[in-house]
A and B are shown apart, each in its own frame.
Chain A
Amino acid sequence: MSNRRKNLNWLNVYAVVYMVFLYAPVVLLPIFAFNSATIIAFPLSGFTTEWFGVLWTTQALHDAVWNSMLVSVSTAVISTVLGLFAARAVARYTFPFQRGIMGLVMLPLVLPEIIIAVALLIVLIQLGLSLSLWTVVLGHVLVCTPFSIAVLSSAFRGLDPSMEEASFDLGETHWGTFRRVTFPLVMPGVISSLLITFTISLDEFIIAFFLTGTEVTLPVYIWSQMRFPTKLPSIMALGTILLALTVALLILAEFFRRRSATRRGLDASTTEGLI
């Protein structure tokens, strides 16, 4: 028994060290955002909110934020709708080459993003399309749909097929069944899919870097600003705001996922759908 306790302690220590490793960069972000020096290094010189003020007055940043919002919202909506159809189809029907097709759809999950970016770039050039925010959306949808499918599949898997049959049996049409039973039951999954795809799209750099035209998204803007050391503190401030926003969104997504789980009487602490 004492042996076991020792193991546990070592693991505990390791876990704490590992968490420090995980959080090291994240913790630095707000520290430097409020540091008054323009050089990103220790020791700290003083507290300031100046860098947040700079953000308010930078027009290029506002444009980038607006572009990113446009891209992320469109991506979230499109990939969630696609994910909804795909997840529903996979959960309910078996069709020829199902595994193959689903494998192909889920492929972007495991492909290096640069390859997706390059591939799409070639396709777009071949098709003679000019690069714009919409081509970025296209790339992001490709990357986000698998995540959406994963989240929604778990929502559909938890849905008893006889729910839909019961509705149909009670005289409801297919569409009515979807509206009155299916959709409300997978609603939490839909919301969490929207939030996750939105977050991924908001943070994605490579595809946006390759596929954007003259209008840049937020990560591309940040990238361009990184070359100028004087801009760094305000980027830290921007990062802090983004971090706060993302964490809030994630907590929201997790909340909805759990609510859907408890609603269906499942154990809310299961990790299904997180991956």
Chain B
Amino acid sequence: MVVTFSFWTQNYLDLDTTFTLANYREAWTDPLYRELTLRSLRISLVVTVVTVLLAFPIAYHVSFHVHHRKALWLFLITVPFWTSYLLRVFLWKVILGYNGVLNSALLGLGLIDEPLSFILYNANAVVITLAHAWAPFAILPIFVALERIDRSLLEAAKDLGDGPVRSFFRITLPLAMPGVVAATIIVLIPTVGDYITPRLVGGTEGLMISNMIQVQFGKANNAPLGAALAVSSMFIVGGISLLIFFATRKIGRGGAD
């Protein structure tokens, strides 16, 4: 494993030296690539926020209000994740499409007069699909963090006069922060590089950097530029993750274990 890794970076450097830094210059200055990178980041950040916000109540529910069938709940949460990713994304296309499940249902119920078009072939569709795809990755770390909270702390807070809302914000949330941070990073990193979802449901304005990387490797036959794009986006994502990690650690030092 490690050997493979060292190979990889080394080869990387080889490529850079032989092809100079022109690829990087292009990757960083060309407005198209810049636009794609920024869009990827924007979409990923939105996906991450949405996913984590949606995941927290579920994790909280399973951790605090489910007593006997925790494992079953977790199992049920993970099952959809294990079905073919390709097919899941495709099915979202079916759900969100112009004649899709959602539109026909809403039309049938008389809630709308004509099909909604803002939900497919754009960034919204990408966000919905990715928020679905990465749900378990956000739920599980938060769940683990919540499980680790000593329940007597909450009783102590109650005993000391805190209501449920106050004790949630003063005890539960700070102690769950490590899980939230983990969830954020785990969701953020892979979504930036996601290929299938933007390709299938993103339309043209939902395309992301990985689609361009693939184009460079495939049709454009400019592998080094594709590589430069890949490395650049990886560094940006890595930087942002580290930033999130350290920022939250500083804020929540008291709570983190």
Contact = CB atoms under 8 A, between A and B. Distances in A.
The 9 closest A-B pairs by CB, nearest first: A112-B193, A25-B91, A239-B87, A269-B71, A114-B193, A114-B210, A119-B8, A118-B230, A11-B61
7 contacts: A11-B57, A22-B132, A104-B5, A110-B189, A122-B11, A222-B86, A271-B144
Contacts of A110: 185-186, 189-190, 241
Given A41-B100, A112-B210, A113-B193, A11 B164 contact: no
Nearest to B211: A114
Given A118-B227, A119-B12, A205-B85, A113 B57 contact: no
Contacts of B60: 11
A243 interface: yes
Interface of B: 1-2, 4-5, 7-8, 11-12, 14-15, 54, 57-58, 60-62, 65, 70-71, 74-80, 82-88, 90-92, 94-95, 97, 99-101, 104-105, 132, 135, 140-141, 143-144, 147, 164, 185-186, 189-196, 200, 210, 213-214, 217, 223, 226-227, 230, 233-234, 237, 241
B87 A235 contact: yes
A254 to B, nearest CB: 6
A142 interface: yes
A43 to B, nearest CB: 8
Given A40-B94, A203-B82, A274-B78, A118 B194 contact: no
A120 B87 contact: no
A101 interface: yes
A219 B86 contact: yes
Interface size class of A (residues with CB under 8 A): 35 or more
Contact of B217 (A41, A112, A121): A121
Interface string A12-41: 101100110111111011001000000011
A11 B11 CA distance: 51
A41 B79 CA distance: 24
Interface stretch (A2-10, A45-53, A155-163, A184-192): A2-10
A28 B80 CA distance: 12
Contacts of A222: 84, 86-87
Given A119-B8, A271-B140, A275-B144, 16 more contacts: A3-B164, A18-B58, A22-B132, A25-B80, A25-B88, A86-B1, A104-B5, A107-B5, A112-B233, A112-B237, A113-B193, A121-B217, A138-B4, A239-B83, A243-B84, A271-B74
Contacts of B210: 112, 114
A274 B74 contact: yes
Nearest to B216: A118
A27 to B, nearest CB: 9
B91 A271 contact: no
B80 A22 contact: yes
A242 B78 contact: no
Contacts of B143: 271
Nearest to A268: B71
Contact of A42 (B90, B101, B141): B101
Contact of B2 (A23, A104, A239, A254): A104
Interface residues of A: mostly helix, strand, loop or mixed?
Answer: helix
Contacts of A21: 132
A95 B185 CA distance: 28
B77 A22 contact: yes
Nearest to A142: B4
Given A22-B132, A22-B135, A203-B82, A112 B189 contact: yes
Contacts of A41: 94, 97, 99-101, 104
Given A101-B2, A142-B1, A205-B86, A115 B234 contact: yes
B101 A28 contact: yes
B135 to A, nearest CB: 6
A86 B2 CA distance: 11
Nearest to A250: B82
B90 A226 contact: yes
Contact of A242 (B74, B83, B237): B83
A246 interface: yes
A60 interface: no
Contacts of B104: 41-43
A21 B1 CA distance: 38
Contact of A113 (B79, B105, B186, B190): B190
B235 to A, nearest CB: 11
Contacts of B227: 118-119, 122
A178 interface: no
B217 A7 contact: no
